């Protein structure tokens, strides 16, 4: 049975020799050498007096105690002011840092609660936040539409129009009118989910629980949405359902089956029979390929985002004392990767749709 032992915020501070079990490693730029303190623990540390106190940062001697508490106050102040190099200050002040063991980003999300018995995970919470933010932004940008756009409306129209023109050049005018709503939504949503995962606090703000074996475990409130395979697979399944509907609308049931299994080319006699057999076998392979598309789409997006977050964490742990500095170049890389992966997902789904709908258009032109 797991028992919650207090919500915590990651506060930079020196790590005493007796607090090694509470030490947590850095997680990209948002994490430096830190110790998980509850708010109550922090304030109780400030109230400690006497050389023999057993507080978490008291080693011995009233002078040393005063010095340590003063240092904690300075570091906590820097934290709330957003100072990025507070650990360097803590090291210069003479605090003993415990060597932390690197913890990899777990493959599965953390359950943070239940609603009517339905489990809610930290990655689901991030998707809701991003979706709500995008909806709010769209409402604010379009609540008072002007003929000459400015401000939020100008940015929103530029983004939507750029995506429309880009997709129209790939899949054509007729198809983009039918499918633009999906491709634009999926690109914007994936993009901002990827970038949201880079915000300080995602993966670093949470609570601690006590496990059945007596060990404690830190669980974050937030997790990158696309670093959860459930999320990427759900988006791929939604596309697969839309793709099926669009294919049937464009070709009909008979045309859809002919697209998959029908013989191509004008042949006669025995060669025609041979081509029918060959294209029927090719159609079986095509069906297998279509069924695997949701898997490939979901694992491609998940793998790249999960690998990026793991890389940031690994870079922060290479040199613990510089854990706040080393990941910075990789942060810029992840900003680019987040954009590229959103674009790749949108383009692949658009091309898959074009391939299934283009055949019927060419077939009709050949018969008119």
pLDDT value of position 103: 56
- Listed residue (311, 310, 307, 304) closest to 341, CA to CA: 304
pLDDT value of position 359: 55
- Separation CA 103–CA 317 (nearest Å): 9
pLDDT value of position 139: 95
Q: What is the pTM of this model?
A: 0.69
pLDDT value of position 130: 97
- Separation CA 96–CA 98 (nearest Å): 7
pLDDT value of position 84: 35
pLDDT value of position 308: 93
| Average pLDDT per consecutive 10 residues, the chain (368 residues; last block may be shorter) | 41 39 40 36 40 39 43 41 36 38 73 91 95 96 90 94 96 94 97 94 85 86 94 97 95 91 81 89 94 96 94 86 87 95 97 84 43
């Amino acid at each position: 049975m797991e028992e919650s032992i207090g919500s915590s915020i990651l506060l930079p501070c020196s790590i005493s020799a007796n607090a090694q079990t509470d030490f947590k490693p850095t997680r990209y730029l948002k994490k430096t050498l830190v110790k998980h303190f509850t708010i109550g623990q922090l304030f109780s540390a400030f109230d400690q007096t006497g050389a023999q106190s057993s507080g978490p940062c008291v080693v011995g001697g009233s002078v040393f105690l005063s010095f340590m508490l003063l240092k904690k106050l300075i570091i906590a102040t820097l934290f709330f002011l957003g100072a990025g190099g507070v650990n360097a200050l803590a090291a210069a002040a003479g605090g003993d840092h415990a060597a932390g063991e690197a913890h990899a980003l777990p493959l599965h999300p953390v359950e943070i609660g239940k609603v009517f018995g339905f489990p809610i995970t930290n990655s689901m919470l991030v998707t809701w936040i991003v979706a709500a933010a995008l909806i709010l932004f769209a409402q604010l940008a379009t609540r008072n539409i002007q003929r000459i756009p400015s401000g939020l409306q100008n940015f929103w129209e530029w983004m939507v129009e750029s995506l429309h023109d880009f997709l129209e050049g790939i899949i054509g005018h007729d198809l983009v009118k039918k499918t633009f709503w999906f491709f634009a939504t999926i690109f914007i949503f994936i993009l901002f989910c990827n970038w949201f995962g880079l915000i300080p606090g995602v993966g670093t703000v949470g609570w601690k629980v006590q496990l059945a074996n007596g060990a404690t475990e830190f669980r974050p409130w937030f997790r990158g949405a696309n670093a959860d395979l459930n999320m990427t697979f759900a988006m791929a399944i939604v596309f697969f359902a839309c793709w099926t509907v669009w294919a049937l609308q464009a070709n009909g049931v008979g045309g859809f089956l002919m697209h998959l299994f029908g013989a191509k080319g004008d042949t006669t006699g025995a060669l025609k029979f041979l081509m029918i057999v060959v294209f029927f076998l090719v159609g079986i392979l095509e069906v297998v390929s279509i069924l695997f598309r949701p898997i490939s789409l979901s694992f491609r997006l998940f793998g790249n985002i999960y690998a990026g977050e793991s890389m940031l964490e690994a870079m922060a742990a290479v040199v613990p004392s510089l854990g706040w500095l080393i990941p910075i170049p990789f942060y810029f890389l992840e900003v680019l990767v987040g954009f590229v992966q959103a674009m790749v997902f949108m383009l692949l789904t658009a091309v898959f749709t074009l391939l299934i709908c283009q055949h019927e258009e060419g077939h009709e032109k050949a018969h008119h």
